[in-house]
């Protein structure tokens, strides 16, 4: 089968499109014929990409953990999903990914693809929407009427953060450059702060929650806009526990986990027309290197997707 593998730690220049043997499902595994894969540009630098949680080295890993496609075969003991089912899912970061014609997944990582979406659209959903779901509702308990500041609102995670927060009934403030202002208002944001012109801490205060997808200095300046008892959730960098204490707020850092039930609920919201994926660019699998190069620039609107099967 055709696949993209990482031939060296570093950047997209190490991605090679090549022929490799097709995997076969072992007990408890699902073989998916991949139709499309989401691009997660930073994964080329993550430790999990090169060493499993059990410390086993992975010399030529396949990137991509957002998968959509059709179940081709299942291993012993798998009762669901059935062969022939159209599925989408987020798979674990320390196993081979979806930038390939076939991949192995676990049943708990997959659920039925939303009916309203084609495969390319569906590949833009799992990692980003699950990250937001877990941030807002598991780690943060966002409620209607609360004020939320989203850093990186126009990015892959941000577009679902805006929509799910709006759906919850929160007052949503997003940071982005001016280019994305109208786009974010269309998605449901209440206020946009152009981070290239305005320091957000001069424009807002007393927010209940900050969801940070930018990190660094943006994260460091976020403590002062929170009200006492608020929460700062970052998925970009771990926030300082000391700063949180000093400001009387809670801080959260977490890594998104595959979750079939949550992904099913997200799919229901998509099919009900409440939220939708946003696709920046679609590349063929053979151009994965260009796709990861574009993602690494940090100005993606929504998600970059690899089309694996026409
Ligand atoms: N911990 C986890 O489980 C987890 C899960 C998912 C993602 N992440 C991390 O979350 C981060 C974001 O991921 P992503 O996929 O959403 O990234 P992305 O799609 O690459 O984000 C690009 C967006 O960031 C915006 N941006 C860049 N600099 C900004 C700034 N200073 N202030 C506000 N917005 C800015 C850009 O807007 P403009 O073009 O308008 O500048 C662009 O729309 C990454 O670090 C990723 O590794 C972590």
Atom 11, ligand 1: which residue's CA is nearest? 213
Read off the pLDDT of residues 152-179 as tens digits, 9 standing for 90 and up. Answer: 999 999 999 999 999 999 999 999 999 9
Ligand 1: centre distance to CA 157 (Å)? 7
Closest by CA position to 153, among listed 96, 200, 107: 200
Q: Is the CB of 91 under 6 A from ligand 1?
A: no
Asked whether residue 199 carries a pLDDT value surpassing 90, the answer given is yes
Ligand 1: centre distance to CA 171 (Å)? 21
Are 173 and 193 in contact, with CB atoms under 8 Å apart? Answer: yes
Candidates 157, 173, 175, 196: which one to mutate for ligand 1, based on the most atoms within 8 Å of Cβ?
Answer: 157
Give the containing element (helix H, strand E) for 87: strand 86-90
Are 7 and 20 in contact, with CB atoms under 8 Å apart? Answer: no
Domains annotated on the chain, with CATH = 2-125+277-307 (3.90.180.10), 127-253 (3.40.50.720)
Q: Is 1 helix (H, G, I), strand (E, B) or coil?
A: coil
Asked whether residue 53 carries a pLDDT value surpassing 90, the answer given is no
Ligand 1: centre distance to CA 105 (Å)? 26
What average pLDDT does range 202-218 have in this prediction? 97
Q: Is 11 helix (H, G, I), strand (E, B) or coil?
A: coil
Residue 11, pLDDT score:
94
Confidence label for 88 from pLDDT (cuts 50, 70 and 90): very high
- In this structure, the number of other CB atoms found within 10 A of the CB of residue 7 comes to 14
What percentage of the chain carries pLDDT values higher than 70?
100
Ligand 1: centre distance to CA 151 (Å)? 8
Read off the pLDDT of residues 249-303 as tens digits, 9 standing for 90 and up. Answer: 999 999 999 999 999 999 999 999 999 999 999 999 999 999 999 999 999 999 9
- In three-state form (DSSP H/G/I as H, E/B as E, the rest C), the secondary structure along the chain is CEEEEECCCCCHHHEEEEECCCCCCCCCCEEEEEEEEECCHHHHHCHHHCECCCCCECCCCCCCCEEEEEEEEECCCCCCCCCCCEEEEECCCCCCCCCECEEEECHHHEEECCCCCCHHHHCCCHHHHHHHHHHHHHHCCCCCCCEEEEECCCCHHHHHHHHHHHHHCCEEEEEECHHHHHHHHHHCCCEEEECCCCCHHHHCCCEEEEEECCCHHHHHCCHHHEEEEEEEEECCCCCCHHHHHHHCCEEEECCCCCCHHHHHHHHHHHHCCCCCCCEEEEEEHHHHHHHHHHHHCCCCCCEEEEECCC
What tokens does 266 get?
A: 């997200």
Mean pLDDT across the chain: 97
Q: Is the CB of 158 under 6 A from ligand 1?
A: yes
The C-alpha atoms of residue 307 and residue 87 are separated, in whole angstroms, by 15
User: CA-based diameter of the chain, in Å?
Assistant: 59
What average pLDDT does range 74-81 have in this prediction? 97
Ligand 1: centre distance to CA 189 (Å)? 17
Residue 135, pLDDT score:
98
- In this structure, the number of other CB atoms found within 10 A of the CB of residue 138 comes to 13
Read off the pLDDT of residues 96-123 as tens digits, 9 standing for 90 and up. Answer: 999 999 999 999 999 999 999 999 999 9
Confidence label for 45 from pLDDT (cuts 50, 70 and 90): very high
What tokens does 295 get?
A: 């993602």
In the 8-state DSSP scheme, what is residue 77?
T
Ligand 1: centre distance to CA 142 (Å)? 21
Cα–Cα separations (whole angstroms), residue 63 to 4, 89, 94, 213: 7, 14, 10, 21
Confidence label for 89 from pLDDT (cuts 50, 70 and 90): very high
Cα–Cα separations (whole angstroms), residue 284 to 31, 217, 278: 21, 35, 18
Q: Is the CB of 256 under 6 A from ligand 1?
A: yes
């Amino acid at each position: 089968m055709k696949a993209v593998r990482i031939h060296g730690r570093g950047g997209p220049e190490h991605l090679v499109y090549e022929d490799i043997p097709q995997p076969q499902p072992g007990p408890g595994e699902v073989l998916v014929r991949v139709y499309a894969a989401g691009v997660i540009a930073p994964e080329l630098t993550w430790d999990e990409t090169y060493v499993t949680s059990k410390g086993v080295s992975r010399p030529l890993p396949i990137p991509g953990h957002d998968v959509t496609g059709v179940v081709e075969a299942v291993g012993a003991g798998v009762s669901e999903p059935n062969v022939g089912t159209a599925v989408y899912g987020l798979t674990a970061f320390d196993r081979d990914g979806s930038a390939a014609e076939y991949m192995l997944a676990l049943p708990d990582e997959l659920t039925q693809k939303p009916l309203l979406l084609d495969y390319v659209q569906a590949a833009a959903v799992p990692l980003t929407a699950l990250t937001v779901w877990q941030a807002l509702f598991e780690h943060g308990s966002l409620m209607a009427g609360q004020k939320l500041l989203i850093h990186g609102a126009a990015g892959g995670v941000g577009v679902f953060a805006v929509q799910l927060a709006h759906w919850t009934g929160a007052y949503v403030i997003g940071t982005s450059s001016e280019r994305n202002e109208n786009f974010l208002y269309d998605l449901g944001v209440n206020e946009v702060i152009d981070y290239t012109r305005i320091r957000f801490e001069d424009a807002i205060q007393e927010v209940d929650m900050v969801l940070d997808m930018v990190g660094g200095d943006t994260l460091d300046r976020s403590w002062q806009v929170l009200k006492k008892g608020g929460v700062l959730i970052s998925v970009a960098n771990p926030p300082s526990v000391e700063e949180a204490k000093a400001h009387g707020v809670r801080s959260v850092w977490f890594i998104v986990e595959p979750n079939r039930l949550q992904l099913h609920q997200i799919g229901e919201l998509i099919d009900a027309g409440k939220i939708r994926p946003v696709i920046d660019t679609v590349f063929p699998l053979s151009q994965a290197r260009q796709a990861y190069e574009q993602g690494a620039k940090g100005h993606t609107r929504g998600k970059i997707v690899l089309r694996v099967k026409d």
